[in-house]
Chains A and B, each alone.
Chain A
């Protein structure tokens, strides 16, 4: 299928494109026009690379995912409760083990994302409000760059910190209270991910809050509202759609985040909602399945692509909605 496609591309598609381009090229009168026409073609080609990338992602990941679903039925993948890809390595067991149920991965991803958002949304929103509405210019001059540094730290650093510092801390403290805590608890990964997302939410909502016109604030203050009453009753409701958009973008980011969970969350696909237990996520499994030697005909490798297309679709839907909401919101106050 792949070779057929490329044959088509090289022997039919390419000459057609070249001939059309040549035709247009000949129609340009002067040499300068011809050069400029070539220049413009180059620009268009570069702009199209964005499209090619998307098509590339969809096609490549989709092709492998389709091959996976020929071995493991889609319903088993989407609704199966058990995930243990390693058992399916042996050839005689391919597809028959039924161990490609991705539900525990989805719940694990959801649990960690939830913990991250519980931390990041209030902290991010409140610090954005504080920085843009209350802080003196001196505090702002320190606070904003500090949050930007937090956003610029590579995720592998957060992962290291989560695994080596935060997780043992939680484990020691929580077992003091009689909780049974796994060394790779969802809580540790979620907590650190929350801190990673915090500056993302705070800078996005900062933009959104600043887009609320000063006239609305003046209207509220002029009626004798206190500053916090103005923020809570006028600014935040007015900024609500924009804030929802930012939160959706942040969720998409948390779902797609890889390094923190690879290093701090577990590998075992447990179906649990207990934040002290170990869970695994979609991204962790993609990495685990693909690190090491890959055979492109074993369902173990192909499963990674099935997970990849799921991840792509979910984050794409979230992004499309979020970008639309934010765009509409910004237009409202332009």
Chain B
């Protein structure tokens, strides 16, 4: 079992708990905490040596962050 796999699982666990129970209960804090399990999942995928999967996952993570930011901005403008 490679060290990337174990560290990735630990990071996914920490990030999921942090993202499910954000301390100041705001959307932005939850969005920042949501990036922790993304990096953990990247580490787990790294232990299987698939370069194309890693490239696609990194791009999609940034794109989904952008979409969530737009959603939060629209919701704060409507409120």
Q: Do A and B interact with each other, yes or no?
A: no
